[in-house]
A and B are shown apart, each in its own frame.
Chain A
Amino acid sequence: MLGKVLKNFDIRTFWRDVRFLKWAGQVLFLVLFAYSLVLFVQTGINNLQSTNIPFSFDFLGDPPGVSIAEGFETLPDSGLRMLHVGMFNMIRIMIGGIIVATIFGTLLGIARLSSNWIVEKAATALLEVVRNVPLLVQILFFQAFLLAFPRLEERDRGEITFHVSSKGIAYPWPERQESAFMFFGFLLLTIYLARRVFKWRVSLLEKEGRDTNPFLWSFLTFLVLTFGNWVGGYKLMGIIGLISGYISIVFDSIPSIAYQVLFSVIAVFFAFRYIRKQIRNTDTGEIRGILSDDDYFRIILSGVVAVFVVLFMFMPLGQNLTYFLEGDELFYKSNWGIPQFFDGVAKKFDFNISGPPVIMSYPEIIQAGTTKFTRYSPDLGKVTTVGYFATWFGVTLYTAIFISEVVRSGIMAISKGQSEAGLSLGLRRRSLLRLIILPQAFRVMLPPMGNQYLNLAKNTSLGVAVAYPEVVAVGQTLYNQEGQTLPVFLVWMIFYCSISLSISSIINYYNRKMKIVER
């Protein structure tokens, strides 16, 4: 082999050799790219050093000195905690938005295909209005609209059911009681069982060829079990608490470092296995031995996830690693850990708990502390703040409009021929929809739907314009306090990259699954 290469080697013409040209070009490109990157970073480091705020992540551990308007914690004790509140606020909007936008968007998409003139035209008009106005303008409009409501005055004080003011929207909300966890645990079990029953009836239908009413059966199962749940069936879930209690005791008795290492090893093992599978897959696939970009991404992603799991294992549990590396407290104080987690679970799932899972709680307008201002009570009912409402509503409506386009074109893409073929086989309309149209339309719709979810996730960042404390707004507050712009930017970048990666890998997973079904 080498001998042959040497035989063919000609010093006069080797620079014209295609292989040489290819690699020379790539190396040159790499060098140029790396050089400009280094230059860029170097300038950055130099410039930062010459200012009096050198690059550091210290602010993540320091108390931020500011409070947050809303979130699971309004007075966070460290920068990182504060960012977590922001991230949680963002995810809250994202999940609510995805669910509502999908439902509303689907309805709208179907309305656009309606044969009813007025429904079709109304849906189209809504689409044309929302689609052609910048999202930011819409969000600001919703904010201004709410702010134009009267302010809360002293005379408003007292218990209320539904109230809109420039402070937000207050409405009754079922409040979780002690038994809620057990109730919902049992509910999940119920849903699972109802599904099993459905599948069982369907398989019976296929085997025996008679109508076995799968819908009715599973619905009845659900009803019966939920009724049982309500009257006290949830106590069964206490068994989980019992087991968790034992687990907690077991984990408490072994040194924390042991299971940190254990879980890390497990994570690395799975990542390794996943990567190996990916490489094998591509090796036997059509394009032999060539990894596509998607494969590279999957491999890198699984590596990153494994590293994160390892870090996560070591990070909050007494900060072993960070103490070791930094010598001081880098991350926020917490006594969160595996034994504590199971302990918590054991407390939530207890045979002794009784009472209804939820109780309706009504909002109330109260005096704010000793001041003469008036506000909604934070503990009663549910209050949606102006910022939250404007961001959530704006983002959801905007995405729903685009989802309706996806749904519409998805259904239209399934040709008329398909439904005619189905009808000619003697399928009834509902079976036709369930067995032929929807599975195909869903496959066509999935990738663009995923894109819309990604857009929604990114658009939540516009909350910064209406002072909704999501991760960008919180980050901005933080760097205005500490001057650490770049670290904050890095946090943003990592956060959004991981959100995007998670959404797209979920979509990719389903996409692949569908494709396999197709073949």
Chain B
Amino acid sequence: MIRDNKFFIENPYGRWVRDNLFSSSSSAFLTFFAGFMVIYSYRGIVGFILNPERMWTSVTYNMKLYMILAYPDEAMIRVWLSVGLALLLGGLSIGFYNSGKTISLGGIFQKLFTISAVIALLIALAPTNTNVIQNDGSIEVVEIIPQDVRMLILGPSLVLTLAFFFLKNIKIKSLFNTAKVNLTYCGLIIASLYFIKIPTISLDSSGERIIPDPFLPIASTTYIPWTILYVGMLIFFFIGSLLKNRDIKIMARLIPIGWFLCPLFIFSWIFKKPLVELNTVFSADIPSILVFGIIGFLIIRFSDNQSLGAYRTPINIGFLVLSVVVFLLPVVFIFKATMVLLLLLLVVSPAIATTKEGKRQLFIVWVVSLFVLTFLIRGASSDTMLVTPTGSIFGGFSLTWLLAIFGTYASFPLGLALALGRTSTLPVIRIICTGIIEIVRSVPYITWLFFASVMLTVFLPSGVEFNLIIRVLILTAFFSGAYFAEYIRGGLQSIPKGQYEAANAIGMNPFQRIFLVIVPQALRAIIPTLVGSVITSFKDSSLVAIIGLFDILRIGTSVIPAQSQPVAFIGRNLEQLVFLSFFFWVFTFVFSRRSMKFEKRLGLGER
């Protein structure tokens, strides 16, 4: 039979087919059955998407709405700055953490071969016709891929497939850095913004009538900013590589801190309108930064001093008392915050500022954090742009993103606290924490969201009012905090008892034991789970659409299907949902793949 055929034994491809598709008669049956199912569903999906009933312009036309809802045009630069910040930081980190892995030209061609072969296969299998259900219930057959179009795509992709097939076997010595190759792919994507065209609708000068302009480049209005940002990213990539070559150690600490602070910055840029009055900047901010900078310098300079070391405890207590006093006094919040920061500096500087290098680095960190603090507090205390008199302008993907990130930010410390409480040896604390975790977890997220939207206000003292977004964030923090707590508890329980004993034996107090020995190990053990739960909270954030926040899902399911101006998209739900599925899918898929790679690398360095 087939299995005895020479081809299936000697040829490597033949052998692969025999082993993986026809290893037994039942396997052969499965192959045909599953193959049929796959092809059938693929043709169904293509037919569904290319069906003339679908109106994809309803998606492309509303792209901006999807991303930022009605964010004012004159403030768009903030959005670009935020995206830019993230991209530049990304470029910097790619450059700095570049593992130096390389890929050969053959490897690249191998990939290209796979891609073009898959494209050719997909085109070949695509259906020619699809069924359209008419209003009277009858079914009409409509042609969606004309034969000439199919040939037009199939021909070149087949040629390319063949070309790559031969190219990939050529032994070429030259190797390419994977990071650079990936950046080049990014560049290709940016370039495609100029070339790939999609059906769009544009308005005439009066802004009312539509000129059906069938095809325009994907990002006709945004490719210039994207290009600029891409170039910036490249520049930062090279800066990162340079820093890596110079072996600047402090960057290894600054970049994660940068990533941690980045959302906060973006938050204050996009969602706030920082009130930068030169007056206050010169009369308050600059002097306070100067004064605290000098104090910090002195602390760093002399903290190493042995004779001073004896007095460290009284000095610490003195500063603690002082900052409590300052907290009670009616002074500007910045001072209060800086006092606390100063105390922190006092505590850490003896450990870090022991060498000249260490002193310099600590001083830089100190000054930078002074600036950051001032900026953040100024941003937070000025007007909000979350709500305008005409209702919420804030929404779309940026809201989804905000909820996911800040949900994680807020829930992490809460989850850690609850987990420590639940594993505590003190029964009262343990029982209370267990109760909170179990109750919060056994009720679905959507009920907590309803609680946030209609019930939380009842429990707030009169006069205190939170925006719905803030209320949702509070409840989200609790909800995912309870989940985090369970994951972290798993990590904590995996720490052997000997670690506690060793920490005790070298004289650590309970706090040092927990935060220097136990928690770092526990967190390391559960990084994969934590990443998974961040993805989950990203997906869960779509639930806020039900309680009326204008996140990306609600725009797709209730704003766009109700649009009648300038083009009627009424009832166009399906297109939106297909697009949204694809959109979410890309994000979560890419994120989970990346994090898997990241975990692998993380696992290498340690232990």
Asked whether, in the complex, the Cβ of B34 is within 8 Å of the Cβ of A496, the reply is no
Q: Given A116-B34, A119-B30: A472 and B573 within 8 A (CB)?
A: no
Q: Kindly state whether residue A324 has any CB partner on chain B within 8 Å.
A: no
Interchain Cβ contacts under 8 Å between A and B, 18 examples:
A116-B21, A118-B34, A134-B542, A135-B539, A137-B580, A140-B577, A141-B577, A141-B581, A149-B133, A153-B136, A155-B137, A296-B431, A459-B444, A461-B446, A461-B447, A486-B458, A496-B443, A500-B442
Given contacts A118-B21, A293-B434, is CB(A485)–CB(B540) below 8 Å? no
Question: Is B174's beta carbon under 8 Å from chain A?
Answer: no
Across chains A and B, which 8 residue pairs bring their CB atoms closest together, nearest first?
Answer: A500-B442, A117-B20, A458-B444, A144-B573, A134-B539, A132-B588, A26-B428, A461-B444
Asked whether any CB of chain A lies closer than 8 Å to the CB of B496, the reply is no
Interface residues of A in 3-27 (CB under 8 A from B): 22, 25-27
**Contact of B393 with A by CB under 8 A:** no
Stretch at the interface among B288-296, B407-415, B449-457: B449-457
A389 to chain B, nearest CB (A): 15
Number of interface residues, chain B, beta carbon within 8 A: 61
Q: Which residues of B have CB within 8 Å of A33?
A: 432
- Which chain A residues (103-143) contact chain B, with CB distance < 8 Å? 114-119, 122, 128-129, 131-138, 140-141
For B546, list chain A residues within 8 Å (CB).
Answer: 136, 464-465
B584 within 8 A of A: yes
Contact in complex: A472, B447 (CB < 8 Å):
yes
Residues on the B chain within 8 Å of A147, using CB:
573
Q: Mark A227-265, 1 if CB is under 8 A from B, else 0.
A: 000000000000000000000000000000000000000
- Cα A293 to Cα B418 in complex, Å, equals 14
Interface flag for B592 (CB, 8 Å) = yes
- Chain B residues contacting A141 (CB-CB under 8 Å) are 574, 577-578, 581
Contact of A137 among B427, B446, B542 (CB under 8 A): B542
What is the bound-complex CA distance between A27 and B35, given in angstroms? 66
Interface of A is mostly: helix
CB within 8 Å of A: which of B363-419? none
Chain B residue numbers with a CB within 8 Å of A496 are 442-444, 447
Do A137 and B31 touch (CB < 8 A)?
no
State the Cβ distance, A494 to closest chain B Cβ, in Å.
Answer: 10
Residues of A within 8 A of B (CB): 22, 25-27, 29-30, 33, 40-41, 43-44, 47-48, 50, 114-119, 122, 128-129, 131-138, 140-141, 144-145, 147-150, 153, 155-156, 293, 296-297, 454, 458-459, 461-462, 464-465, 472, 476, 479, 485-486, 489, 492-493, 496-497, 499-501
Q: Is B37 an interface residue (CB 8 A)?
A: yes
Nearest-neighbour CB distance to chain A for B556, whole angstroms, equals: 9
What is the minimal beta-carbon distance from B511 to any residue of chain A, in angstroms? Answer: 12
* A132 contacts B585, C-beta separation under 8 Å: yes
Contact digits for B299-312, partner A, Cβ 8 Å, 1 yes 0 no: 00000000000000
Q: Are A134 and B443 closer than 8 Å at their CB atoms?
A: no
Query: Is A116's CB under 8 angstroms from B30's CB?
Result: yes
Q: Which residues of B contact A458 (CB under 8 A)?
A: 442-445
A150 to B139, CA, bound (A): 11
**B450 close to A476 (CB less than 8 A):** yes
Residue-by-residue, is B531-544 near A (CB-CB < 8 Å gives 1, otherwise 0)? 00000000110110
Contact of B589 among A128, A138, A500 (CB under 8 A): A128
A40 to chain B: which residues have CB within 8 Å? 459
Q: What's the least CB distance linking B177 to chain A, in Å?
A: 28
B27 close to chain A: CB less than 8 A: yes
Interchain nearest-CB distance for B423 vs A (Å):
10
Residues of A within 8 A of B589 (CB): 128, 132
Smallest CB–CB gap between B429 and chain A, Å?
6
Considering residues A119, A136, A500, which has the most beta carbons from chain B within 10 angstroms of its beta carbon? Answer: A136
The residue that A140 contacts in the complex, of B21, B459, B557, with Cβ under 8 A, is B557
For A27, give the chain B residue with the smallest CB separation: B428
Minimum CB–CB distance from B577 to chain A (whole Å) comes to 4
The distance from the CB of A122 to the nearest CB of chain B, in whole angstroms, is 5
Which among B137, B434, B450, B460 is the interface contact of A156 at CB below 8 angstroms? Answer: B137
Asked if B432 contacts A30 (CB within 8 A), the reply is yes
Given contacts A132-B588, A134-B553, A465-B546, 14 further A-B contacts (CB under 8 A): A48-B458, A117-B21, A119-B30, A133-B539, A134-B584, A141-B574, A144-B574, A149-B133, A153-B137, A462-B446, A464-B446, A492-B443, A496-B443, A500-B442
**Chain B 421-433 against A: per-residue CB contact (8 Å), 1 yes, 0 no?**
0100011111110
Interfacial residues of chain B within 4-58, with CB under 8 A of chain A in the complex? 20-21, 23, 27, 30-31, 34-35, 37-38
The residue of chain B having its C-beta at the shortest distance from the C-beta of A463 within the complex is B446
Provided the pairs A132-B589, A296-B431, A496-B442 are in contact, do residues A43 and B461 lie with their beta carbons within 8 angstroms? yes
